[in-house]
Copies of this chain bind each other. A is one copy, B any other.
């Protein structure tokens, strides 16, 4: 069956797919949603690997849950890392959200997860999860139990149709094959939003990201973030204020305001939230301006660790993506090569320089 037939679209839709290579193999990712096909869908060696669907977010737990779920729903933890799909097409491949084969993530999942028995039994499934931990090329969020880099499964889907397994079946399957998965907080009814708010409050205290709520059959999803996650995202964005979209910033501010209203916060509580918010915005921005003033190039710092060849491959891949990579530290620890690098942001660096030199703006 051809790609178009597998996807249920006309042949000319296929023209929207890019052409890339990984280890000499051609594959074709779709970096933006088109004609009803999810962003990140990939065509490779005759098979389709569907993109992970966008998960709707509610700004108000109570109303959002009632609006979204007719009956029981499951609450699982949403982690702060990057969305990864693992499929086996001859080799094991790890795809990013946009559909690129990431050599680093591929190396990590191959060397750390017991994938063989799973894919022997279920060759047409894809494992969908979050790659987390302090040592990866994309995110830096720390988890107490993750030293370097790790993977947590939050979904198992048919790779061609993207149909999900029911939640309980997926959790049993992962347990059986010894595959690590996200925490589950149990099942709730739509009138139990208060329970979910309590889960969010506990996650917030531990500076964790939030939750994804799912219908038991896995088809309906709804997400919600902690205040800690909103502030983290703002601090991240304002560390490179000219790189992140204005929408990114405003959406996080709105989440905070709706959360405060839903929790019925007192004046003192709103004020305390406002102070935390202000710090997340101003402090990283001031730090970035001072760095540029001191003659440095600002950017995001990441560390990667692994077999020397895999690390070399990962850095080459990032450079191929058009990123300006400055290696700050490159050393060997046991059999591993450990590289700390900065993804230089010329945009923020140059804009900040422009203003520091007295450049003006019409506004």
**A253: which B residues are within 8 A, CB to CB?**
238, 241, 281-282, 285
Q: Report the separation of the CA atoms of residues A363 and B254 in the bound assembly, to the nearest whole angstrom.
A: 12
Whether A276 sits at the interface, judged by CB under 8 Å, is yes
Interface check A362, CB cutoff 8 A? yes
Chain B residue at minimal CB-CB distance from A64: B358
A63 with B283: in contact, given A246-B246, A247-B246, A290-B261 (CB under 8 Å)?
A: no
For A57, give its contact among B257, B271, B275, B361 (CB under 8 Å). B361
**Which of A22-30, A65-73, A128-136 lies on the face that meets chain B?**
A65-73
Indicate if the CB atoms of B63 and A358 lie closer than 8 Å: yes
A56, A59, A62, A270 interface centre (most CB from chain B within 10 Å): A59
A347 at the interface (CB under 8 A from B): no
Q: How many of these chains are in the complex?
A: 2
List, in ascending order, chain B residues with CB within 8 A of A357's CB. 63, 67
Q: Is A286 an interface residue (CB 8 A)?
A: yes
- CB closest residue in chain B, given A265: B286
Which applies to chain A's interface (DSSP): helix, strand, loop or mixed?
Answer: helix
A177 interfacial contact with B, CB 8 Å? no
| Residue-wise interface mask of A (241-257) relative to B, using a CB-CB cutoff of 8 A (1 in contact, 0 not) | 10000110111011011
Q: Tell me the bound Cα distance from A247 to B255 in angstroms.
A: 19
Looking at the complex, which one of B271, B273, B283 makes contact with A271 (CB distance below 8 Å)? B283
Known A60-B355, A247-B363; 4 more pairs at CB < 8 Å: A57-B361, A241-B250, A246-B247, A274-B275
Q: Which A residues are closer than 8 A to B by beta carbons?
A: 54-60, 62-68, 222, 238, 241, 246-247, 249-251, 253-254, 256-258, 260-261, 265, 270-271, 273-279, 281-283, 285-286, 289-290, 293, 355-363
